Chain A
Amino acid sequence: MFCGALFTTGLRAQHPQPWNAPARFARPDLDSDEGGLWALMDRQERRLRRSPFVIRDHSLNNYVQDIACRLGGKHCPDIRVHLVRTPLFNASMAPNGMMQVWTGLMLRMENEAQLAAVLGHEIAHYLERHTLERLRDIKSASAFATFVGLFGAAGAIGQLATLAATFGFSRDQERAADRIGVLLMRKAGYDPAEAAKVWGNLLAESKARPDGGGASTLPMFATHPGAEERNETLATLAAEQPGGTTNATTWRERVRPFRSDWLREEIKLGQYEESVSLFTRMIESTPRDAELLAARGEVHRRHGGDRQFDLAVADFRAAEQIGHEPPEVHRGLGMIYRRRGASREARASLKHYLELAPQAPDAPMIRSYLEELGQ
């Protein structure tokens, strides 16, 4: 296999082999293994279209689809991006052209070029027909006999197709997709240096965990090459021909209307260290963003503990000073003050919260706290 060979013989970053995108794929014969795989993915895509987890906003969908089209070139009509509301870092590509991008990944992107790096990587899997390759690898392995025993011959193909399509690509395939993804980025005018930053950021987040990232919850870490290796490889590839756009301002403007929901979903995960690491990175990039400060403050508050409460109060107060802070800033402050027995401050903050969000689901509970705190 072209890409496997490229990496098994070393990176050869200074003298990359040429790569040309294949012609558009015709729908394979339904009787073939590839046709069966496409049919299976078509069914999954029909289910996905009906899923309440899919983001249906046309503006955002068109924006991301356009980025995919810039990268996919002549394959644009065959690639369909679906944005899925799941607060983890993940994206996947099916052999029929269905791509899924999770909102946890969108939240972590700093600019358009970083998203292009991920989309380019996924499109590379599609162009190289990696899923089909994976299916054939599994079929030729001895494990196939086990599947035949379990599901019968026809059922086994279906199960293996599912396994091949969704369980993951080989590490060599991932390395190849990285390389082609960088080529696609460059061709579309994006700065390929942003690809390495995606993994660098993810690595920093993973290392923030108490176990240092040993048991990462990030699905993409399960099959992909080590983040350090990937970071280095992508940086080397980018250095071959530096330059290009990041479109950071456009990115921020286009995702801004959705970011509050994504931040809330991240907070709910309850992964204290990773969320603090993520929000701190985002705050370093835009220090006067009240929503980000509020989000980090809420993560500290939910974790609990004196030190975390101090950090939460500091973030909430900073958000308040900047202005246009979310109402939850005042609820957070009120709850901390209430717990600390600072009745006057608790009362003021909780009242402020109710003024800003009188219809909040927890308003009845907050009113009961105010009664308990007295006037």
Chain B
Amino acid sequence: MRQLTMILSMLALAGCVAMAKVEKGERAIGDRLAVKIEGAWNQLDGPELGPAQTWTMEGLPIDQLLLYSGVKDGDLVHASGGDGKRKDFAFKANMQADEIVGMFEGMLTRDGSSFKLTRLEPSSFGGLSGFHFEYTLIRKVDNVVLTGVGWGAVSKGELFAMLYMAPRLAFFARHAADVERIAMSAKIRQSAQ
């Protein structure tokens, strides 16, 4: 059944997911976050994606870069919530760093995948005091081991974050430095313009 679901889901996705090229340069993510990229990425858009902008270099499901801009108190950090079958994960404005990471962990393991935090440390993100974390994710659907990295900060009760994950062998190392440069380039505006 899982295979069938996957096939049907992939067919559905193939028809519904739009891909657009993200050119190098400074790119706005929502109203308050901007990042600078040195090479082109691909942005995906579809009903199963969001609220983060989903970018990929190699194509899904190989690697994905999730960019969250201004997630408000009570907002889910994943799409397809509210079916009651799987636990939903929402941001709360008073969350501390470990709780935000726990929220992302919950989001990434909704399908039964396994998450292991390997590092959580203070770090600036977007010019604000925030946090940086690293993790390993074993994807349930295909048993692939992914390495992941993330940054986050909360400004005026809104969450700004960036997560990147790719297969541990080859793909993560190929893009990790670019991803870190993107994170370091992030700027969070204090209010929407």
Residue pair A335, B98 in contact (C-beta under 8 Å): yes
Chain B positions within 8 Å of A271 at CB level: 87
> Which residue on A lies nearest to B92, using beta carbons?
A304
* Interface flag for B189 (CB, 8 Å): no
Out of B2, B86, B117, B145, name the residue touching A166 (CB < 8 Å). Answer: B2
A-B contact count (CB 8 A): 76
Residue pair A269, B121 in contact (C-beta under 8 Å): no
Alpha-carbon distance between A88 and B89 when the two chains are bound, in angstroms: 18
Asked if A361 meets B118 with Cβ closer than 8 Å, knowing A86-B112, A162-B4, A339-B96, the reply is yes
* Interface flag for B52 (CB, 8 Å): no
Chain B positions within 8 Å of A270 at CB level: 87, 89, 102, 106
Give the B interface residue count (CB, 8 A): 34
> Which residue on B lies nearest to A302, using beta carbons?
B102
* Interface flag for B155 (CB, 8 Å): no
Alpha-carbon distance between A47 and B3 when the two chains are bound, in angstroms: 13
* Interface flag for B99 (CB, 8 Å): yes
Chain B positions within 8 Å of A53 at CB level: 114, 138, 140, 143
Chain B positions within 8 Å of A338 at CB level: 96
> Which residue on B lies nearest to A84, using beta carbons?
B112
* Interface flag for A215 (CB, 8 Å): yes
Residue pair B119, A364 in contact (C-beta under 8 Å): yes
Residue pair A364, B1 in contact (C-beta under 8 Å): no
Asked if A368 meets B122 with Cβ closer than 8 Å, knowing A85-B114, A268-B102, A268-B105, the reply is yes
Question: What mask results when residues 65 to 90 of chain B are scored 1 for a CB within 8 Å of chain A, else 0?
Answer: 00000000000000000011111010
> Which residue on B lies nearest to A166, using beta carbons?
B1
Residue pair B87, A361 in contact (C-beta under 8 Å): no
> Which residue on B lies nearest to A215, using beta carbons?
B84
Using C-beta atoms within 8 Å of the partner chain, give the interface range for chain A. Answer: 20 to 34
Within 8 A of B (CB), among A253-306: 268-271, 302, 304
Task: Tell me how far the C-beta of A143 lies from the nearest C-beta in chain B, rounded to whole angstroms.
Answer: 13
Residue pair B122, A364 in contact (C-beta under 8 Å): yes
Chain B positions within 8 Å of A162 at CB level: 1-4
Residue pair A362, B98 in contact (C-beta under 8 Å): yes
* Interface flag for A61 (CB, 8 Å): no
> Which residue on A lies nearest to B109, using beta carbons?
A268
> Which residue on A lies nearest to B84, using beta carbons?
A215
* Interface flag for B176 (CB, 8 Å): no
Alpha-carbon distance between A52 and B144 when the two chains are bound, in angstroms: 9
Task: Tell me how far the C-beta of B44 lies from the nearest C-beta in chain A, rounded to whole angstroms.
Answer: 26
* Interface flag for B91 (CB, 8 Å): no
* Interface flag for A163 (CB, 8 Å): yes
Asked if A361 meets B102 with Cβ closer than 8 Å, knowing A52-B143, A166-B2, A304-B92, the reply is no
Residue pair B84, A163 in contact (C-beta under 8 Å): no
Chain A positions within 8 Å of B1 at CB level: 162-163, 166-167
Residue pair B143, A50 in contact (C-beta under 8 Å): yes
Residue pair B106, A268 in contact (C-beta under 8 Å): yes
> Which residue on A lies nearest to B88, using beta carbons?
A270
Out of A47, A215, A269, name the residue touching B106 (CB < 8 Å). Answer: A269
Q: Which residues of A contact B (CB under 8 A)?
A: 47, 50-53, 85-86, 88, 159, 162-163, 166-167, 211, 214-215, 217, 268-271, 302, 304, 335, 338-339, 361-362, 364-365, 368
**Closest A-B pairs by Cβ, 4 of them:** A215-B84, A364-B121, A368-B122, A362-B120
